[in-house]
């Protein structure tokens, strides 16, 4: 599915999203991650042995939410995406996505470098999306 322009713009602009995974037994796990939007897909990095990687290897279904909260509730907005995840290991695709993450988050290489040998990248392909407050 193709994301609405307003939803894609919010996903692209915001700096943090929440990612929900579930293991094979359905036990949920939700964490914040730094993401990048490329060609309608959401990407983020994680440790190669992280709970996210283990969950997604067993169950590729994933949910991603970006929201903007304000005390003026008439201005609250967000996007919730349900999709399928694919783990990306070492190689040219890994390096291209890592470059995009480094461009969006210049502190990444210094504070938390993404290593092809020990980390994984996750690609989320949207299947369903809903949004609120985007007009």
Closest CA to 85 of 57, 115, 109: 57
Could you report how far apart the first and last alpha carbons of the chain are, in Å?
Answer: 20
At 47 the pLDDT is 96
CA neighbours closer than 13 Å in the CB half-sphere of residue 133: 15
Decide: 62 and 21 in contact? Cβ < 8 Å.
yes
Residues in the chain predicted with pLDDT less than 70, given as ranges, are none
At 97 the pLDDT is 98
Domains within the chain, CATH numbers bracketed: 5-129 (2.30.110.10)
Each residue of 5-42: pLDDT tens digit?
999 999 999 999 999 999 999 999 999 999 999 999 99
At 69 the pLDDT is 95
Cα distance between residue 42 and residue 79, in whole Å: 12
């Amino acid at each position: 599915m193709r994301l609405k322009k307003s939803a894609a713009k919010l996903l692209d602009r915001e700096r943090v999203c929440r990612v929900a995974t579930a293991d094979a037994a359905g036990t949920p796990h939700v964490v914040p991650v730094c993401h990048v939007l490329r060609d309608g897909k959401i990407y983020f990095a994680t440790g190669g042995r992280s709970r996210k990687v283990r969950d997604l290897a067993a169950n590729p279904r994933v949910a991603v939410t970006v929201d903007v909260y304000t005390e003026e509730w008439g201005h609250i907005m967000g996007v919730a995406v349900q999709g399928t995840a694919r783990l990306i290991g070492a190689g040219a695709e890994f390096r291209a996505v890592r470059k995009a993450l480094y461009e969006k988050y210049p502190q990444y290489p210094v504070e938390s470098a993404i290593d092809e040998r020990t980390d994984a990248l996750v690609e989320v392909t949207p299947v369903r999306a809903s949004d609120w407050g985007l007009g």
